[in-house]
Amino acid sequence: MAVRIVVLLAFLMVGTVAGWSLGGTTGGVVGAWAAALLWLAVELVLGARVLRWLRGADVLGDPPALTGLWGEMVDRVRRLLRARDQQVTEARQRMQYFLEAIQASPNGVTLLDEINRITWCNQTAASHFGFDAQRDQLQLVGNLVRDPDFTAYLAEGDFSREVVINGRSASAGRVARVSAQVHPHGEGQKLLLSRDVTALEQADTMRRDFVANVSHEIRTPLTVLNGFVETLQNLPLAEEERSRYLGLMSQQAQRMQALVNDLLTLSRLEGSPLPGGGDWVPLAGLMAQCEEEVRGLASALGKEITLRCEPAPAVEISGVSSEVLSAMSNLASNAVRYTPSGGAVDFGWRERGDGRLAFVVQDTGPGIAPEHLPRLTERFYRVDRSRSRETGGTGLGLAIVKHVVQRHGGELQIESRLGQGSNFSFWLPAGRFRPVAAASAEVPVLEAAETPQS
């Protein structure tokens, strides 16, 4: 500021001296006024340059080359503008990171205004409710989510709980359930959070069904046993009738024992660590024991079935031998149970050509309709409950097979046609097999392993 005053005084002095030398006292006054006006004109020109720079589009570009007070002001303004621009850029980056994080969230996020219009939503929420993130902005959420429970939830205004509705992806063959809850914030604003609870509800349904099925499967033989016990306690029976009743009671007790054994097997499979690759057992030994169990079952059921057991390849298998034997026996035993007399059951290990081996069971039974095939490995799922009880199965055999095969890195495959029989097989990866060493070519006697038949 002092510099500007000095410059002004210099202008006045020069103008006064020049005017006085030309016109005396009057000339000096006129010269002073002219100098003052010239100084003011220069300042206006400099101010106009600064104003034009401030109004320009590239205000952060090169400023006008000025010195003194105007130069210092331009420099300070430019630094302030750069600081503000940096703050705006950082704020935008933080907002972008925040939005990207919300977009990556597995939960749906929808922002609503004071009248429940959509102001923003992430892609998860769009898939939950069928929104279009761009097209549906400022649309009333109640017009897009036409679920009576959700409409009542919004109208009620009690957002302390969540509401579960059908998701937009639900269809006749697929159930999709979405949990939604509103969280008010700000001045009438709302945050609508949603999450997919389909798996949770399915797990809860499976748990209820499992408990109900176990209760039903155990209650039936218990009812029979209780009836026979009351009969034996209250009625004088001949020795032949007592023997028949005791035989029936033994059958029901064995049925409950088989069910408990299968449940314990499933529990052990689900809770134990995956099998390693250190224990090797000749495949021929497992096949010999499986064939013995299958032929014994066919004899016990009184069925005249042609059983053809293919010779086992000269390889050893790595894993839990009792589990692999259980899977083999379950598949072969199921084929025997459901194949009528006069039919045939073929089973054995076959090479797949890529190093993998598959255990295959083919029967000439009644076959299974296509709509039942995807659910056969569910616990207690039966195509025909009456026929299953006649064969003595527990409904857990294929579930056990599936768990064993998955634990050993393989896959269970099922093919069947009504009236043409069924083909059950599972393959295991090539790393589970190796050629039998010459020193161990003789098949050792395997220890008896518990292999639940279902």
Q: What is the CATH number of the domain that holds 167?
A: 3.30.450.20
Residues 86 and 116 in one domain: no
Residues 27 and 162 in one domain: no
- Give me the percent of the chain exceeding a pLDDT of 70: 85
On the question of pLDDT at 104 being above 60, the answer is yes
Q: How many structural domains does the chain have?
A: 4
Inside any domain, residue 452:
no
Confidence at 75, pLDDT banded by 50, 70, 90: confident
Inside any domain, residue 85:
yes
Residues 253 and 323 in one domain: no
Quote the DSSP letter at residue 370: G
Model pLDDT, residue 57: 61
Q: Name the average pLDDT for the chain.
A: 82
Inside any domain, residue 447:
no
Domain end among 147, 178, 196: 196
Q: How many CB atoms lie under 10 A from the CB of residue 184? A: 13
Residues 305 and 415 in one domain: yes
On the question of pLDDT at 261 being above 60, the answer is yes
Residues 110 and 247 in one domain: no
- 361-370 pLDDT tens trace: 999 989 998 8
Residues 146 and 183 in one domain: yes
CATH for 369? 3.30.565.10
Confidence at 40, pLDDT banded by 50, 70, 90: confident
Closest CA to 321 of 288, 361, 352: 288
Lowest model confidence (mean pLDDT) among 109-123, 164-178, 339-353, 420-434:
164-178
Structure tokens at 113: 């205004």
In the predicted model, what is the mean pLDDT of residues 347-375? 90
Model pLDDT, residue 103: 86
Residues 91 and 115 in one domain: no
For residues 163 and 180, the answer to whether their CB atoms sit within 8 Å is yes
Residues 220 and 72 in one domain: no
Inside any domain, residue 220:
yes
β-bridge partners, 350: 358
Model pLDDT, residue 447: 42
Model pLDDT, residue 414: 94
Residues 394 and 329 in one domain: yes
Q: Which domain holds residue 435?
A: 274-440
Residue 41's SS3 state is helix
Closest CA to 17 of 4, 27, 5: 27
Q: How far is CA 449 from the centre of its chain?
A: 37
Residues 302 and 407 in one domain: yes
Q: Which of 84-98, 177-191, 380-394, 439-453 reaches the highest mean pLDDT?
A: 177-191
Quote the DSSP letter at residue 355: S
For residues 367 and 419, the answer to whether their CB atoms sit within 8 Å is yes
DSSP 122-146: -HHHHHHHT--TTTTTT-BHHHH--
On the question of pLDDT at 325 being above 80, the answer is yes
- 287-303 pLDDT tens trace: 999 999 999 989 988 88
Q: Which of 19-28, 241-250, 326-335, 348-357 reaches the highest mean pLDDT?
A: 326-335
Residues 227 and 293 in one domain: no
More confident residue, 351 or 278: 351
Structure tokens at 292: 């013995």
Domain end among 234, 258, 282: 258
On the question of pLDDT at 141 being above 80, the answer is yes
Inside any domain, residue 245:
yes
Inside any domain, residue 79:
yes
How far apart CA 332 and CA 397 sit, in angstroms, is 11
How far apart CA 450 and CA 154 sit, in angstroms, is 58
Residues 109 and 140 in one domain: yes
For residues 137 and 120, the answer to whether their CB atoms sit within 8 Å is yes
Inside any domain, residue 363:
yes
Inside any domain, residue 268:
no
Confidence at 65, pLDDT banded by 50, 70, 90: confident
Confidence at 442, pLDDT banded by 50, 70, 90: very low
Confidence at 404, pLDDT banded by 50, 70, 90: very high
To the question of pTM greater than 0.75 for the whole model, the response is: no
Structure tokens at 197: 């609870």
On the question of pLDDT at 146 being above 90, the answer is no
